[in-house]
């Protein structure tokens, strides 16, 4: 319950700032809104399809055979990023 209330409070504050920015500088407000929309679309794509790529499936399947450290680090970085997005 606490987190829901904090999230609503944060959303209200962001809405107030956006409304003020739209009054003061509409072009900057439109640019910020466009950046936020792109960010949300990117997160949805990563979260929804991140672990279903053929490369990721193969890495999970042959986990014990990942000998290249670079490949292993790429896989773990992708999984950390996916889990971070999922935790939001």
Look up residue 53 and give its DSSP letter.
S
CA distances from 39 to 23, 58, 59, 82, 85 (A): 24, 28, 27, 14, 12
Return d(Cα 10, Cα 43) in angstroms, integer: 20
Burial of 43 (0-12, 13-18, 19+ CB in 10 A): middle
Kindly give the confidence (pLDDT) of every residue in the chain, 88 residues in length, as a single tens digit, with 9 standing for 90 and above: 899 999 999 999 999 999 998 899 989 888 988 888 877 766 665 655 565 666 666 666 666 555 667 667 777 777 788 788 777 6
Per domain, the residue ranges of the chain are 1-50, 53-88
């Amino acid at each position: 319950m606490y987190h829901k209330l904090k999230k609503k409070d944060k959303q209200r504050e962001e809405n107030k700032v956006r409304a003020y920015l739209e009054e003061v500088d509409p072009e900057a407000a439109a640019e910020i809104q466009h950046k936020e929309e792109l960010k949300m679309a990117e997160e949805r794509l990563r979260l929804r399809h991140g672990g279903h790529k053929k490369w990721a499936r193969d890495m999970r399947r042959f986990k014990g055979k990942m000998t290249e450290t670079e490949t292993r680090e790429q896989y773990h970085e992708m999984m950390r990023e996916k889990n971070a997005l999922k935790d939001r």
